[in-house]
Amino acid sequence: AGDLQDSARLLCASWDTWLFLTLFLLEAGLRMMASGLHAYLESGWNVFDLSVTLLALMGAVLLSIAPKLFIVVIFRPLRLMRLYKLKKRYRDVFGTLVLLSPLMSSAGCVMLVMYYFFAIVGMELFAAYDLRNCCVNTTVEDFYKWSENASTPLGYYYLNNFENILTSGVTLFELTVVNNWFILMNAYATVAGQFSRVYFMVFYLFTMVVLTIVVASVLEAFRFRIQYKRSTTKRDEEKLLHEEVHTNWEEAQRLGAVGDLADQLRPYLPPGADVTFIGSRPRTKEVLQRRMYQTEIQKWLAEEDENEGLPPSATLTSSEDPLSPPLIQQPDGDNTQLRPAYEL
């Protein structure tokens, strides 16, 4: 701890640290003077940049006063996040990760359930076995040597066990990343019998399937991101994810706002004034796919009508929203029916 404190104090007390902090503060000040405080704070990157700079300055001052607070040096690397602003390729990677966040959360839940299941089974099968000095005259003997007066020469592999749910989770994680998994499997095969290998093989197969699905989804997300960027401009994407609706109380009445609905809208629509409602959509893969494949969706609907032997239908746009379901104009005898092409 003393060495860490000395290293952190020397880092924050060095001339280059204060030089760059001064330059960063000067840059922020010039930006505020050039664009104004309000315009400067409207940019999220400017707020992030100023926050990181102030945190780094506060950390340097606190460390010079109280050397035990060496943990504050972690504020300095946060400035590397600005690379996402400077380099478009980095922003694309970060944007793809945002698209993958729902999938990653689902995959994380699946992995958690799988870990819990195999941890419980492993505790029932192997919790009673002590791996210290367990594998005499085997190929993994050196990995499990233990003595009260000396440390093991090659590692503390006896700590990878199934004594409780936490150590079982750590052990299963090491098996997932294939961290010398055969050493652990051979040890339990020696102390518990050769049939214990089945447990480790089944766990490996389960993890291989789950991780393969995750890797395939990540590759598909990057491929989709590349195609989407080629077919959609930044302005089109902003229009897709944000929409403004201008209305007033008189228009709401013309559209049939009466009764309870009128009472709910009255506080938000004062008579004689125009009100603007701003809506936004989440940046999910499904939303972007419906925008990118809008033409293909209409072709698929026409092919489906042809396969079912229905009369030819015309696709109409139900609104200016590119994500709203198109309306199918379907002849029905002397009348014409309008139906949504699909449900959102």
The DSSP output letter for 179 is S
Q: Which residues contact 138 (CB under 8 A, 6 or more apart)?
A: 186, 190
What pLDDT score was predicted for residue 319? 44
> 152 vs 227, which has greater pLDDT?
227
pLDDT value, residue 102: 79
pLDDT recorded at residue 115: 94
Q: Taking the domains of the chain in order of start, what are their residue ranges?
A: 2-86, 103-212, 237-281, 293-340
From 281, 261, 279, select the one nearest 323 (Cα to Cα).
281
More confident residue, 276 or 187: 187
Among 301, 294, 296, smallest CA distance to 341 is for 301
Selection from 57-66, 69-78, 321-330, 331-340 with the highest mean pLDDT = 57-66
Q: pLDDT tens digits for 40-95?
A: 888 878 888 888 888 878 777 777 776 666 666 666 777 777 777 777 777 777 77
Instruction: Tell how strand 327-332 and strand 274-280 pair up.
Output: unpaired
Other beta carbons within 10 angstroms of residue 143's beta carbon come to 23
Pair 307, 315: CB distance under 8 Å: no
Range scoring the smallest mean pLDDT among 14-28, 34-48, 80-94, 158-172: 80-94
List residues bridging with 337 in a β-sheet: 330
Q: Give me the mean pLDDT over the 136-160 stretch.
A: 74
The mean predicted confidence, pLDDT, of the chain is 76
Tokens of 143: 């990995």
129-131-135-136 Cα dihedral, nearest 10 degrees: -100
Q: What is the pLDDT of residue 70?
A: 61
Query: 103-212 belongs to which CATH class?
Result: mainly alpha
